[in-house]
Amino acid sequence: EGININATNKAGETPLDIAEKFGSPDLVSLMRDAGAVNSSDQGKPPNAAKQLKQTVSDIKHDVQSQLQQTRQTGMRVQKIAKKLKKLHISGLNNAINSATVVAVLIATVAFAAIFTVPGQYVEEKVQGFSLGQANIANNAAFLIFFVFDSLALFISLAVVVVQTSVVVIEQKAKKQLVFVINKLMWLACLFISIAFISLTYVVVGSHSRWLAIYATVIGSLIMLSTIGSMCYCVILHRIDETKLRAESRSFSMSHASDQEILNGEYKRMYAL
């Protein structure tokens, strides 16, 4: 009696099925030439237990592959997040340093301006004036200059004191500090501009007052448009932050990819 080359084992597999899994291609070819067939060709598919085992094995492999991919993606996202955090902190530090330099500059200019007013000072006793008093002290434009120049000076000095005294480590606290300092510097710039414009009405005289008016119009347009644009950028940034926080709490955000989250958090430029 010859050998049955297409006999099946308990799992319903033929010798050709086993050879295709573990044997060499030459062996498979020889068996096919000898008349060997697969269990599916015999109309005897593997039994239900083997099919269930194979299904469980496939699912396990897919889950392990997805977990591995998730871990790798998480590591990449963490590295990117760390780099973005460093860039963010560096940007905040640059903003703080720039504000300090500008505050010192404005304080220096405002301090020097009060001692270099047009018309100089009273050097001899004159009725109605005191020694050292500015000759234009009774001029309304000088009074406006004096008030706003003083405000710009003391706001700038306050910023310098805070910058040189406060050490902020936490990123959120540093961001809040930059926000407050920036607003103070906006006020200082506006006040020093008003002080300059008011003094132009004294310098040009009554016959050339149109020059002072021209300086007022130009200065107002530039400063107000600049401050207005910055306010718009600040409001826009706050709205984007609010939307991002709302999305992070929502159910849909839990299914978003890490790359989408990074794209939402990362900005090349924003205003505080």
Structure confidence at residue 256 as a pLDDT band (50, 70, 90) = very low
Q: How far is CA 22 from CA 26, 95, 137, in A?
A: 12, 67, 105
Q: Is the pLDDT of residue 167 over 90?
A: no
Q: In the structure encoding, which two tokens stand for residue 41, read together? A: 């060709």
User: CA gyration radius for the chain?
Assistant: 40
Give the residue-averaged pLDDT of 116-141: 67
CB-based contact 239:267 (threshold 8 Å): no
Q: Is the pLDDT of residue 81 over 80?
A: no
Cα separation, 152 vs 109, in Å, equals 10
Sign of CA dihedral 208, 213, 218, 220: positive
Tokens 């005294």 — which residue? 165
Considering the chain, what is the average pLDDT of its residues?
78
pLDDT tens-digit series, residues 19-76: 777 767 777 788 777 877 776 666 555 556 666 776 787 788 888 888 888 888 878 8
Return the pLDDT at 253: 44
